[in-house]
A = this chain, B = another copy of it.
Amino acid sequence: MILTVTLNTALDLTYRVRELRPHGSHRVLEVTERPGGKGLNVARVLAALGHEVTVTGFTGGATGHVVKEQLARTTGVFDALVPVAGATRRTIAVVDGRTGDTTQLNEPGPTVDRAEWSALQEAYGQLLGSASVVALCGSLPPGVPVGAYAGLIRSARAAGVPVLLDTSGEPLRRGVAARPDIVKPNADELAELTGSHEPLRGAQDARRRGARAVVASLGPRGLLALTPEGRWQAAPPTRVRGNPTGAGDSAVAGLVSGLVEQLPWPERLSRAVALSAATVHSPVAGEFDRAAYEELAGRVTVTGGARPGKGLKGLPRPGTA
């Protein structure tokens, strides 16, 4: 099975309002509620693609109970979440019905104590035994040590399980140093990690810091991949309009599923870009539109090649992006 880890799970709420006016009072016209946190989003997409996925991480309180109830109704996702005393955080996306713009409010999450963190590490160690790949996703809740992902990466490597890391800030910096197989930063996260606002240069630096492969998500421009097998850039055929929430998580699902299916990099990247674009296109935030995915999958442009070198066609060069 595929294992995804979401240390800071969430109950994701979407509120549709007629028009968001600061300091006003708003009647919420429509409420949707679903399990959230990057690793749970990745798991949902993987399950929709027909993979068996196990999710671990922390949940607690009444909000955690709702998350677990909804996961239980998701075919293909097995719940191995570890209980905590605190309550799972809520995130609220307020969608302005007039403009479609979203205003996001994210609770910080429960404080995790030392015993809870030990319980997670133990559960994770056992789950690695039957995992074909593990994806470590999202922010850390208060109380979890900043080097948490670095430790989880070392355990995965010791168990011979390929590991993808998708996080930001100091947890990303420490995680990269623990030599994960793939990191998937977006442009901002990559710039924060490396100090370079030029994605190719940033990705090169991230590899030097320890990542075996770097797949940078560049928003509507698609993905840039620097790997031991080669360098590629994959872009959607047209600019897709819609809500980018969850697009990065769908890209991770594409990369992870491609890895377990042993697809070559260009196919993994096409799938990741098509899933990501089909998520932006979907009317429901964070869900992918299957018809759009199937239509887009054959139309992603992949440039670059299997031999690393200078001047790869279509790849931005340092100083020219």
Contact = CB atoms under 8 A, between A and B. Distances in A.
Interface string A73-87: 000000000000000
A104 B25 contact: yes
Contacts of A229: none
Interface stretch (A16-24, A120-128, A296-304): A16-24
Interface string A104-117: 11111000000000
A106 B27 contact: yes
Size bracket, chain A contacts: 20 to 34
A20 B21 CA distance: 10
Given A65-B62, A66-B62, A92-B92, A103 B23 contact: yes
Nearest to A13: B90
Contact of A22 (B22, B31, B65, B108): B22
Nearest to A61: B66
Contacts of A104: 24-26
A63 B90 CA distance: 12
B96 A28 contact: no
Contacts of A134: none
Nearest to A15: B105
A275 interface: no
9 contacts: A20-B22, A22-B103, A23-B103, A24-B103, A25-B106, A26-B103, A62-B63, A62-B65, A92-B92
